[in-house]
Amino acid sequence: MAPMSPRMPSILAALLIATIAVSGPAVRPVDAVTLEAEGGPSAPLASVAPPERQPGAAAEIVPGSVNRTSLFVDATYDASLRISWGTRKIAVDSTATIRNTSGGPIDRIELNTIAARLGSIQLHSVTVDGVATGATRSDQTIVVPLGGILPVDATTRIRVRFHALLRSSLSGSNWLFAKANGIIDLYRWLPWVSRRIAFDRPNHGDPFETPSSRSVVVRIATSRPLVLATSGDRTSVSADGLIQTFAATNVRDFTVTAATDYRTRSRVVRDSVVRVYYRPGAPGAAMLDAAADAFDILERRLGSYPHRTFRVAQSAGAYGMESPGLVWIPTGVPASNLRYLAAHETAHQWFYGIVGNDQAKQPFADEAAADFAARYVLGLKRGSRCATATLDRTIYQYSAACYYEKIYIQGGNLLDAARRKMGSTAFWAALRGYIAANRNEISTTQTLLEALDAATPIDLGKTLFAPRFPRIY
Ligand SMILES: [Zn+2]
């Protein structure tokens, strides 16, 4: 992610965000169609729910316990999401089909959803192969005991049903899961295989670690026709426009953004389509120019983009944000900052999207790389306004005032120093090689640094990286 204006002290930025929240476009009048009118908040989503295995049928879980979970499983997701525009309520019915590819037995799965922290979640039922399980909430995580051991290569289906309520303000982290300024922002609503990660942090760091899924299908039912910008391609829409189905492959999340009145503009860039979604009054043409230009030059530098469409949506507000196949440009972004923000979030398609990392523990791997790439292609390199720091700490260990200045600015400048030492040709070839070698995986800061070091006879570890990464060198 990136602050709306990285040149602005955080207090001023917070004031500006608060001002925009108050003075921005008015939220449309609440409409009369409610979730209840569609069949009640706990009605089964029969028309759109995925099939479920009968209890006990062909379950591959065996008795016992190993007290182990893993992110490194093959998980596909088939979900229904019901959005009530007027009441800000959502209903989720999601089934994760999980094959244990982790190399060892596991006996629980840990699913993350921001609804557990920001959405006043009402967890209705969690089943494992059709059998109710004693799932518990811990911070942003739903911990699902499997009721036994899932052996290596065995498969289980975990179904989670819940209701949640979107926030109506953008303060704190609310902007990730909110309806404001006529836009619904749904970040990490879909319970996703991860691990227990503390959501609270002293800065705007991303408290997520997201393994890639080869298949996600989401049916979205809405209380009124909405234009939806998601991480997937739309595969069908009902005649009345109220049920839209989306599919995505090789994504780390499935973000949804919605408005009643999004307009779109598209441009073919190389062999992809860049499409912006913006409300009347927002700078749609400038958003498309900024995103298309960034996408073009970054794809040339970093290697081919895996999705047919790259979407750029005006979000409710606060921060720019990355997600697979879709990035958010916040409502009210200053024109002077639009190109930077678009380039930073676009660069995340490669650093975070194509190559994942533990964003909570190793923010350097995606934020420094994305910010370096954005500033390099735009010629916006600048010095840091905080004291020189080590760059191998977690998001929990940097202050709000200096997280951006250290990880993004100092981190990006360190990568640029490596580029100058080894030469641009070798540097960009090494980055392309790193991305190709770690595509759809979760990489590490160490792997990134070693990929650069391996591409030059200069000992970058000793001469450049060691003082800044004492936990690695
Ligand atoms: Zn970022």
> Which pLDDT score, from 0 to 100, does residue 357 have?
98
Tell me the per-residue pLDDT of 428-454, one tens digit each, with 9 for 90 and over.
Answer: 999 999 999 999 999 999 999 999 999
Tell me the per-residue pLDDT of 109-138, one tens digit each, with 9 for 90 and over.
Answer: 999 999 999 999 999 989 999 999 999 999
Q: Is 20 exposed, middle or buried (0-12, 13-18, 19+ CB in 10 A)?
A: buried
pLDDT of 39 above 50:
no
Q: How far is CA 202 from CA 140, 172, 199, 317, 397, in A?
A: 16, 11, 10, 20, 8
Query: How many angstroms does the Cα of residue 353 sit away from the middle of ligand 1?
Result: 11
- Does residue 404 contact residue 364 with C-beta atoms inside 8 Å? no
Cα 285 from Cα 95, distance rounded (Å): 39
pLDDT of 56 above 50:
no
Q: Is 47 exposed, middle or buried (0-12, 13-18, 19+ CB in 10 A)?
A: exposed
What is the model's pTM? 0.90
> Which pLDDT score, from 0 to 100, does residue 63 have?
97
Tell me the per-residue pLDDT of 180-201, one tens digit each, with 9 for 90 and over.
Answer: 999 999 999 999 999 999 999 9
Query: How many angstroms does the Cα of residue 376 sit away from the middle of ligand 1?
Result: 15
Over residues 350-368, the mean pLDDT reads 98
Q: Is 67 exposed, middle or buried (0-12, 13-18, 19+ CB in 10 A)?
A: exposed
At 344, is the pLDDT very low, low, confident or very high (cuts 50, 70, 90)? very high
pLDDT of 320 above 80:
yes
Q: Is 51 exposed, middle or buried (0-12, 13-18, 19+ CB in 10 A)?
A: exposed
Query: How many angstroms does the Cα of residue 378 sit away from the middle of ligand 1?
Result: 16
Query: How many angstroms does the Cα of residue 407 sit away from the middle of ligand 1?
Result: 10
Query: How many angstroms does the Cα of residue 367 sit away from the middle of ligand 1?
Result: 5
- Looking at the chain, the domain(s) classified CATH 2.60.40.1730 span 10-352
Query: How many angstroms does the Cα of residue 341 sit away from the middle of ligand 1?
Result: 9
Report the Cα–Cα distance between both ends of the chain, in Å, rounded.
27
Choose which CATH entry (2.60.40.1730, 3.20.20.70, 3.40.190.10, 3.40.1180.10) describes domain 10-352. 2.60.40.1730
Q: How far is CA 291 from CA 7, 29, 89, 311, 340, in A?
A: 20, 31, 32, 9, 10
Query: How many angstroms does the Cα of residue 310 sit away from the middle of ligand 1?
Result: 17
Least confident of 11-25, 150-164, 337-351: 11-25
Cα 325 from Cα 307, distance rounded (Å): 7
Query: How many angstroms does the Cα of residue 303 sit away from the middle of ligand 1?
Result: 19
pLDDT of 328 above 80:
yes
Helix 411-422 to helix 445-453 angle (10° resolution) is 20
Query: How many angstroms does the Cα of residue 111 sit away from the middle of ligand 1?
Result: 23
At 3, is the pLDDT very low, low, confident or very high (cuts 50, 70, 90)? confident
Over residues 400-409, the mean pLDDT reads 98
Q: What stretch of H or E contains 430? A: helix 424-437
Amino acid residing at 71: L
pLDDT of 52 above 70:
no
Cα 268 from Cα 9, distance rounded (Å): 37
pLDDT of 279 above 60:
yes
> Which pLDDT score, from 0 to 100, does residue 58 have?
61
Query: How many angstroms does the Cα of residue 430 sit away from the middle of ligand 1?
Result: 21
> Which pLDDT score, from 0 to 100, does residue 469 have?
98
Query: How many angstroms does the Cα of residue 342 sit away from the middle of ligand 1?
Result: 10
At 99, is the pLDDT very low, low, confident or very high (cuts 50, 70, 90)? very high
Q: Show the CA angle centred on residue 238, arms to residues 232 and 241, nearest 5°.
A: 85
pLDDT of 28 above 70:
no
